[in-house]
Structure 1
Amino acid sequence: MGRHREFDVQKALDAALCVFWRKGYEGASYADLTEATGVERPALYAAFGNKEALFRRALERYYELYLDFIPQALAKPTAREVAAHMLYNSVELNTRFPDRTGCFNINGALAVSDGAEPMRQTLIDVRAAGEAQFRERFERAKAEGDLPATARPDVLAAFLMAVLHGMAVQAKAGFSRERLMAVAEQALSSWPANSTAG
């Protein structure tokens, strides 16, 4: 019979999430993780498996705790409102915590060694799935006449993701919330409008 786990698994996961958010996958050492969680390495292994498994759990937790604005955005009535909701909420999240600016996904794997390639690919897949959701939403907007006939939903989704990712990198580099909000406004100023709508 195994020893009783004498720590709060959810609290440990949340602490690990913050470490990965701040330092990325490879930048987060086991020393960082054990110090933040207050849990020794063998117990962390027992609870979560290896570092890769812990990172995957932290990524799931990040979406659960911090990215509820994505489904909210997708439910907005117009494509422009979808984009605005994503941009403004991303700026807010990327600058909310002074000790972990930017985005968990982007910070997680901007640069990794060959050994961390599976984690980089996981984050690429997650972002690709997000982009696909926006593409489908913008295809619907075009079909409904919310976007002009010339609009390219795939390009709009890629544009939105590029701005979101760029703002996350800028937040990590110390850009202020005000500057990033101005970037969001600039992006929205180029959003296509259907002049025949209404």
Structure 2
Amino acid sequence: MDVALDRAIGVFWREGYDGASLAELTAAMEITATSLYAAFGSKRQLFERAFTRYLAVDMAYAARALDQPRLEDVFHSYLLDAVDSMTRDDRPHGCMSVQVGGSRTGLTPTGNEVRDFVATARTAGLQRLSSRIEEGRDVEGFDLKGATPANIAEYLASVSNGIAVRAADGVGRAELRVVAEIALRALLSR
């Protein structure tokens, strides 16, 4: 099941939800359309299962970042591990969440529902990051320099999403790590 979902992730990541045809999905997953419907119910349900797996596996770096002991370590892990994840050789470069949640999805009513599903997942992740920043501010006394935890979370997500777009454009890991380091220096400068 995980192998089939990983293959579906690749198709959705490259093609978007609306652009991913049943023929492409079944060929990549090495199953028939009948088997796809029997196992997953529908293309949308397949997408939701694949995206949930993507969050758990490919975006596991975000959850690991939130578990770092110091807020400064959270920031470093969040951005630098994002670069590494988004430039893996065994996956399309960039971020499935950014790719699928963008212009290649939302061309159909179901595509709009999928885009909303992805946006809801991104918002939940942003809220978890904001809560962790709030905790770091309150427990560690981390100085946010007048920004709110939500502002800092939005900043980190925006930098990460920009890195995802540039990774998908073919910018390499080394250059994107420099970008992440610049963002970290700006965030952490005292």
- What is the TM-score normalised by the length of structure 1? 0.87
Q: Within 5 Å, which residues of 2 pair with 1:1-198?
A: 9-97=1-89, 100-111=92-103, 112-115=106-109, 116-144=111-139, 145-148=141-144, 150-192=146-188
Identity %: 34
- Residue 185 of structure 1 and its aligned partner are, at CA, apart by 0.6
The 8 Å contact of residues 25 and 55 in structure 1, kept in 2 or not, is answered as yes
Return the index of the structure with the highest Cα Rg.
Answer: 1
Secondary structure, aligned partner of 1:191: helix
The one-letter code matched in structure 2 to 1:159 is Y
The superposition leaves residues 27-70 of structure 1 with CA deviations (integer Å, 9 ceiling, x where unpaired) of: 21111101101111121111101111000000111122222222
The 8 Å contact of residues 12 and 37 in structure 1, kept in 2 or not, is answered as yes
> Where has structure 1 moved over 4 Å in runs of 4 or more?
none
Please, what is the CA RMSD of the aligned residues? Answer: 1.6
The 8 Å contact of residues 142 and 149 in structure 1, kept in 2 or not, is answered as no
The superposition leaves residues 73-128 of structure 1 with CA deviations (integer Å, 9 ceiling, x where unpaired) of: 11212222111101111111111036511111111120121421100001110000
Distance 2:67 2:39 in 1: 36
The 8 Å contact of residues 142 and 151 in structure 1, kept in 2 or not, is answered as no
CA 1:18–1:80: 2 relative to 1, 3 Å: same
The one-letter code matched in structure 1 to 2:4 is A
**Comparing 73-82 with 97-106, which one deviates more in the overlay?**
97-106
Q: Give aligned pairs, total.
A: 186
**Comparing 9-18 with 54-63, which one deviates more in the overlay?**
9-18
Distance 2:143 2:127 in 1: 17
The superposition leaves residues 136-165 of structure 1 with CA deviations (integer Å, 9 ceiling, x where unpaired) of: 111111112122462321100000000111
CA 1:85–1:186: 2 relative to 1, 3 Å: same
Distance 1:169 1:149 in 2: 28
Distance 1:73 1:99 in 2: 21
- What is the TM-score normalised by the length of structure 2? 0.91
The superposition leaves residues 3-49 of structure 1 with CA deviations (integer Å, 9 ceiling, x where unpaired) of: xxxxxx33222211121122221221111101101111121111101
Distance 2:121 2:12 in 1: 16
The 8 Å contact of residues 134 and 157 in structure 1, kept in 2 or not, is answered as yes
Distance 1:50 1:36 in 2: 16
Distance 1:38 1:186 in 2: 43
